[in-house]
């Protein structure tokens, strides 16, 4: 039983150490990134703050890009609606002109509409 307990304890310690080392590696990578950007601050507490500032600025950038993306999509949608409206107006104007031109002719387009009174 003692050996079993010791083995379990050793496994747990190894797992904890692995997680700790992974966290430390990630932290160190972030600090390296900060160093490259010339924003490294001395002292652990300040370092942590710098890392947090970096992640906050990254989040802000991501938020801005998503907001920009949304605005672009909304703009596109508005443009499409405007385009459709313009097309409709243009088509109706064309149709009205065509009707005005066809009033005096017996073209198939107007047979059912404007020539009703002419057929006696």
Mean pLDDT over residues 3-24, rounded?
85
SS (H, E, C) 26-93: HHHHHHHHHHHCCCCCCCHHHHHHHHHHHHHHHHHHHHHHHHHHHHHHHHHHHHHHHHHHHHHHHHHH
Tell me which of 13-17, 48-52, 75-79 is least confident. Answer: 48-52
Count of positions (residues) in the chain: 120
Confidence of residue 26 (pLDDT cuts 50, 70, 90): confident
- Residues 10-35 have a mean pLDDT of 80
Say what the pLDDT of residue 120 is. Answer: 47
User: Model confidence at 31, in pLDDT bands (50, 70, 90)?
Assistant: confident
pLDDT band at 106 (very low <50, low <70, confident <90, very high): low
Whole-angstrom distance, CA of residue 79 vs CA of residue 27? 46
Model confidence over 59-104: pLDDT tens digits? 777 777 777 888 888 888 888 989 998 898 888 888 877 766 655 5
Q: Per the confidence metrics, is the pTM higher than 0.85?
A: no
CA pair distance 34, 104, nearest whole angstrom: 81
CB 50 within 8 A of CB 41: yes
Residue 93 has a pLDDT of 82
pLDDT grade for 29, boundaries at 50, 70 and 90: confident
């Amino acid at each position: 039983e003692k050996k079993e307990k010791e083995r379990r304890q050793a496994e747990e310690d190894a797992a904890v150490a692995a997680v700790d080392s992974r966290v430390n590696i990630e932290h160190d990578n972030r600090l390296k990134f900060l160093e490259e950007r010339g924003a490294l601050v001395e002292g652990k507490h300040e370092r942590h703050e710098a890392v947090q500032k970096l992640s906050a600025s990254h989040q802000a950038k991501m938020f801005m890009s998503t907001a920009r993306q949304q605005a672009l999509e909304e703009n596109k949608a508005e443009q499409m609606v405007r385009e459709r409206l313009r097309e409709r107006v243009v088509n109706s104007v064309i149709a009205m002109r065509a009707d005005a031109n066809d009033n005096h002719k017996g073209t198939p387009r107007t047979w059912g509409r404007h020539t009703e009174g002419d057929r006696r």
